[in-house]
């Protein structure tokens, strides 16, 4: 049986993944923000479900909680960076204060967790780090530039980390979901203020679409959790796992467009080559 450490298990995908792991007999340490959520989580599987309060933006607290989790359940086999929040608004509308706050949660928080768990994983030459990013970390969509930027950053951290730790026996998987039927769009979706009317037909559409689709998103968090377990159990787990038909559609469309641009401008790309050096000069 495996030991899990999952951030953001009060609801949504984090809770669904914790439930799925517990259902197969694993032990899960889940982080929450409220005491009521901690009590509800621990009741899922007394003795195997352990809740710890944590704000991932507090690096010192992350270190303490990770050490406590390791002391409580032993070596951590799977560490899942799931905690995060959303944001909508045009780039021009977004304050640097809001940008710093979102990066603190969505990028620096996962980085703090990664740094906290790696020493023990390196010592064991084992472990698997899972980063829940988003299709927004692969495909840009007006109105979600700041959120997408944090997920692009987490995608890069995960892919680079995979290269750095592969020789040490540690694996990394980035999970990029599309829309799922969680409370994310309703409770964790602040927006930029004040708004600028010129962006009504572009950036402002994103928030309206996300809120209109709330409760009708195409993805099931429970099925997503099962898909993650299947991927992580594979002999060669993926570096990137897209989840959902919408995620697949947007990612394929984005990559096809970039590939076309690269091909169209290939000659100009290659035109900057320096002149060959002349022997003896």
103: domain CATH number is 3.40.50.720
Which pLDDT band, with edges at 50, 70 and 90, does 184 fall under? Answer: low
Ranges of H-type helices in 104-144: 109-124
Q: Does residue 147 have an active-site annotation?
A: yes
Range of the domain at 134: 3-270
Q: Which of 78, 147, 199, 250 is catalytic?
A: 147
Its pTM stands at 0.94
Q: How many domains does the chain have?
A: 1
Q: Is the pLDDT of residue 182 over 80?
A: no
Question: Distance between CA atoms of 53 and 84, rounded to whole angstroms?
Answer: 15
3-class SS at 165? helix
49 or 205, greater pLDDT: 49
Nearest to 133 by CA among 89, 179, 78, 177: 177
The reply to whether 202 falls in a domain is: yes
What is the per-residue pLDDT for 206? 87
Domain membership of residue 279 (yes or no) is no
Using 50, 70 and 90 to split pLDDT, how confident is the model at 57? very high
Q: What is the mean pLDDT of residues 8-20?
A: 97
Residue 253 phi/psi, 5-degree rounding, is: -65, -45
Identify the band that residue 277 occupies on the pLDDT scale cut at 50, 70 and 90: confident
* In the chain, % of residues over pLDDT 70: 96
The CA distance from 74 to 61, in Å, is: 19
Residue 276 counted as domain residue: no
Average pLDDT, the chain: 94
Q: What is the pLDDT of residues 215-265, one digit of tens each?
A: 667 789 999 999 999 999 999 999 999 999 999 999 999 999 999 999 999
Q: Report how far apart, in Å, the C-alpha atoms of 79 and of each of 53, 109, 110, 198 are.
A: 16, 13, 10, 43
Q: Does residue 278 sit within a domain?
A: no
Encode pLDDT of 197-206 as tens digits. Answer: 999 999 999 8
Classify residue 132: in a domain, yes or no: yes
């Amino acid at each position: 049986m495996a030991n899990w450490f999952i951030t953001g298990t009060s609801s949504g995908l984090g809770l669904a993944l914790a439930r799925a792991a517990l259902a197969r007999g694993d032990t899960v340490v889940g982080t929450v923000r409220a005491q009521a959520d901690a009590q509800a989580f621990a009741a899922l599987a007394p003795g195997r479900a352990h809740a710890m309060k944590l704000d991932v933006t507090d690096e010192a607290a992350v270190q303490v909680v990770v050490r406590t989790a390791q002391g409580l359940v032993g070596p951590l086999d799977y560490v899942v960076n799931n905690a995060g929040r959303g944001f909508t608004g045009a780039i021009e509308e977004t304050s640097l204060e809001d940008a710093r706050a979102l990066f603190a949660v969505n990028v620096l928080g996962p980085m703090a967790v990664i740094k906290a768990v790696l020493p023990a994983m390196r010592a064991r030459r084992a472990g698997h780090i899972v980063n829940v990013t988003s299709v927004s970390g692969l495909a840009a969509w007006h109105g979600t530039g700041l959120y997408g930027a944090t997920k692009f950053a987490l995608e890069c951290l995960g892919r680079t980390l995979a290269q750095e730790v592969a020789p040490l026996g540690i694996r990394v998987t980035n999970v990029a979901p599309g829309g799922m039927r969680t409370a994310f769009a309703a409770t964790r979706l602040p927006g930029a203020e004040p708004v600028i009317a010129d962006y009504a037909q572009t950036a402002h559409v994103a928030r309206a679409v996300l809120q209109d689709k709330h409760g009708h998103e195409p993805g099931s968090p429970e099925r997503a959790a099962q898909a993650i377990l299947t991927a992580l159990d594979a002999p060669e787990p993926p570096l990137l796992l897209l989840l959902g038909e919408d995620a697949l559609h947007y990612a394929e469309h984005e990559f096809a467009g970039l590939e076309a641009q690269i091909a169209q401008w290939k000659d100009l790309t290659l035109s900057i080559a320096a002149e060959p050096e002349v022997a003896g000069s």
